[in-house]
Amino acid sequence: MSYPSKHLLAIEGLEPPHIADLLDLAESYALLNRSGKTQRDLLKGRTLINLFFEDSTRTRTSFELAGKRLGADVINMSVSTSSVNKGETLLDTASTLNAMQCDLLVIRHAQSGAPALLSQKVDAAVINAGDGTHEHPTQALLDALTIRRHKGSLQGLVVAICGDIAHSRVARSNIHLLTTMGSRVRVVGPPTLIPADAARLGVEVFHDMKAGLKDADVVMMLRLQRERMSGGLVPSAREFFRFYGLDAEKLALAKPDSIVMHPGPMNRGVEIDSAIADHPTRSVIGEQVEMGVACRMAVLDVLARRLPRNR
Ligand code: NCD
């Protein structure tokens, strides 16, 4: 296993073999999970703390499940954003967690860079579960695994990431991963929701949804992340759906065997039509959640191998 670091803070900086190895290991966990077998010894005696300063359904529960399936003691700490006194409180929290001798620390935080800061202050291996608008590396891994299972390889695929790119850490991590692995990435959305540095990230920018979806292999939809917007960057939800919502008519422009993805939580009727979200053959949204557990098991496994045996 070629993974280069003690932590998983970002996809940016990982090289193709690191990503491919993680995905191969995750695939083996996906098969193990489907067979109903568990591997409860790997993280036996290890403590995993889920430290969530922002809401989460899928990410927190799947880290919890992944940790438990590998035999770790898992503790969930949800900290309401309103009570967080930024920097100082975060570092105070870090020293508390350090005193508890936690081995693996999963953190979600509204501030970009919070997991990296924490990683300098604790002994535990730190996993970024989403920081501000920066990165959400395990989401990109689970998306890549889902794509690979349907398309065989990431190389040469046309992936259209649509909607609120500017505020999306999911988009950033996916852009880094997919471009590193040889996919052609398009970002599709209104100018107000495309980051100014998009072209620097090696993607093609489209403001017209139909042009952006033409012949795409993968269509990835994103939520309008209003909690991260300052001011109204979109007119009304109805207007947004008309131009940028994924419905059957727009999806017809993508390849006939293209798959539809969404990291959740979905706003049906805003960025995606219900009939497409629930489409029996095109939507892989449920499989993304399943692969989330497998990918998080792979990440915990790889990071745990680098931990000192006895702390
Ligand atoms: C995403 C997140 O939190 O960045 N959700 C997730 O982890 N599945 C996307 C979002 O909040 O829209």
* Separation CA 258–CA 282 (nearest Å): 7
Q: Which atom of ligand 1 is nearest to the CA of 169?
A: 4
pLDDT at 226: 84
pLDDT at 218: 98
pLDDT at 67: 98
Query: Which of 170, 229, 262 maximizes ligand 1 atoms within 8 Å of its Cβ, making it the mutation to test the pocket?
Result: 170
* Separation CA 211–CA 259 (nearest Å): 17
pLDDT along the chain (311 residues), means of 10: 93 98 98 89 95 91 97 88 65 86 94 94 96 97 98 98 97 98 98 91 97 98 87 80 97 98 96 98 98 98 89 54
8 A C-beta contact, residue 299 and residue 104: no
256: annotated binding-site residue?
no
pLDDT at 46: 96
136: annotated binding-site residue?
yes
Q: Which atom of ligand 1 is nearest to the CA of 225?
A: 12
pLDDT at 84: 60
45 Cα to the center of ligand 1, angstroms = 30
* Separation CA 191–CA 144 (nearest Å): 26
pLDDT at 79: 79
Q: Output the pTM of the full model.
A: 0.96
8 A C-beta contact, residue 263 and residue 141: no
Place of tokens 């999963």: 106
pLDDT at 83: 56
DSSP labels, 72-137? -EEEEEE--GGG--HHHHHHHHHHHHHHTT-SEEEEEESSTTHHHHHHTT-SSEEEEEEETTTB-H
Q: What angle do CA 100, 74, 97 make, to 5 degrees?
A: 20
- Bond from prior residue into 195 cis (ω within 30 degrees of 0): no
